[in-house]
């Protein structure tokens, strides 16, 4: 089994708000992230897939295909977007780094045909990142 | 759904690697330049990884401000700009980065209740890093 990781970057804005909370509760829970006008980050995405090395190609996965899927399913939808308003998953779910990692996993898992998804890592900043290993982990 | 959250913090501290159980020669050959009696310092990076179910109400494994304030109070305030050899936990233990990593793990494991501690990673320099996941558990 070999693990392969591909990185990508996207920039997006978001804010944290739960409509079931009072304004005070929202502010206490989410602090500065509760500003309804949003704020932004340069996110770094790391997608790790795993599989056996194909003896003919020497690849775990065709990197070109992985790159295309990441672009189509994730970057086209999230890069230079206001996540709360433009990405369907976040119309009714808070776009925290945790939920972004889960949403990216769900977007990719069924689309990767050659190798199995192992981990989705999303860096919100260089000092904060989330790893998601799938629903069953 | 369970996710892992990692957060990185920085401290600067000095130390000297020296064991009272070894002779002068043995200390020198074991620790090399790190045995300099005047000590030396590093910019350490501490990476804390916690895990837990993502709360549907907040979208979070734990509130980052709870983690930050705990680490600030219990770890950074204790070690930042200190000479590690002068601290109680290193009175009888060499302040290697391995031992500091274990100490930080123990502090977080004992005191932080908002999420499950998975791992402490301690980078002494860009070239040296150490990870501790608690007793008898492999690093993933």
A118, A50 in Cβ contact below 8 A?
yes
Residues A102/A104/A106/A107 CA torsion (nearest 10 deg): 160
Beta bridge partners of B13: B42, B82
pLDDT of residue B136: 79
The dihedral through the CA atoms of B28, B105, B87, B41 has a sign that is positive
Q: Can you tell me whether residue A116 is helix, strand or coil? A: strand
CA distance B94 to B78: 17
Catalytic residue among A9, A39, A68, A80: A80
- Alpha helices for chain A (secondary structure H): 23-30, 63-70, 76-78, 83-86, 97-109
Contacts of A102 in chain B (CB under 8 A): 1, 3, 54
Residue ranges of chain B whose CB lies within 8 Å of a chain A CB: 1-9, 49, 54, 57-61, 63-65
B6, B117 in Cβ contact below 8 A?
no
- In tens, the pLDDT along A68-101 reads 999 999 999 999 999 999 999 999 999 999 999 9
Q: Can you tell me whether residue A42 is helix, strand or coil? A: strand
A13 has pLDDT over 60: yes
**Whether B1 and A135 lie within 8 Å, measured CB to CB:** yes
Q: Which parts of chain B sit beneath pLDDT 50?
A: none
CA distance B36 to B41: 11
Contacts of A126 in chain B (CB under 8 A): 8
A30 has pLDDT over 80: yes
pLDDT of residue B138: 60
pLDDT band with cut points at 50, 70 and 90 for residue A136: confident
For A123-136, what is the mean pLDDT?
96
A120 has pLDDT over 80: yes
Q: What is the ipTM of this complex?
A: 0.92
Q: Which tokens in the block code for residue B74?
A: 């219990």
Task: Name the pTM for this structure.
Answer: 0.93
Q: Closest Cα partner for B96 from B73, B129, B72? A: B129
Q: Can you tell me whether residue A124 is helix, strand or coil? A: strand
Q: Is A25 a catalytic residue?
A: no
A113 has pLDDT over 90: no
For A43-59, what is the mean pLDDT?
95
Contacts of A29 in chain B (CB under 8 A): 58, 63
pLDDT of residue B137: 59
How much is the CA Rg of chain A, to the nearest whole Å? 16
pLDDT of residue B129: 97
H/E element, B9? strand B2-15
- In tens, the pLDDT along B98-139 reads 999 999 999 999 999 999 999 999 999 999 999 999 997 565
pLDDT of residue A99: 98
């Amino acid at each position: 089994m070999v693990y392969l990781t591909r990185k990508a970057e996207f920039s997006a804005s978001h804010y944290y708000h739960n409509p079931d909370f009072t304004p005070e509760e929202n502010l206490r829970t989410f602090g500065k992230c509760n500003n309804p006008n949003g704020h932004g980050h340069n996110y770094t995405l790391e997608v790790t897939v795993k599989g056996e090395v194909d003896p003919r190609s020497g690849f775990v996965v065709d990197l070109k295909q992985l790159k295309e899927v990441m672009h189509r399913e994730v970057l086209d939808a999230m890069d230079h977007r206001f996540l709360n308003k433009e990405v369907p998953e976040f119309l009714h779910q808070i776009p925290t780094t945790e939920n972004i990692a889960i949403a990216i996993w769900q977007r990719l898992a069924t689309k990767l045909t050659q190798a199995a998804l192992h981990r989705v890592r999303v860096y919100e900043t260089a000092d904060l990142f989330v790893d998601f290993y799938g629903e069953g982990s | 759904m369970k996710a892992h959250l990692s957060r990185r913090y920085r401290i600067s501290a000095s130390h000297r690697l020296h064991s009272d159980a070894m002779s002068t020669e043995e200390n020198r050959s074991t620790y090399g330049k790190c045995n300099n009696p005047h000590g030396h310092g590093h910019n350490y990076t501490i990476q804390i990884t916690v895990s837990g179910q993502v709360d549907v109400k907040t979208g979070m494994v734990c509130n980052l401000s709870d983690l930050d304030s705990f680490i600030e109070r219990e770890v950074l305030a204790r070690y930042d700009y200190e000479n590690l050899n002068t601290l109680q936990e290193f009175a009888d233990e060499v302040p290697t980065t391995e031992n500091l990593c274990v100490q930080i793990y123990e502090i977080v494991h004992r005191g932080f209740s908002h999420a499950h501690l998975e791992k402490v990673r301690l980078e002494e320099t860009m070239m040296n890093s150490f990870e501790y996941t608690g007793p008898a558990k492999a690093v993933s």
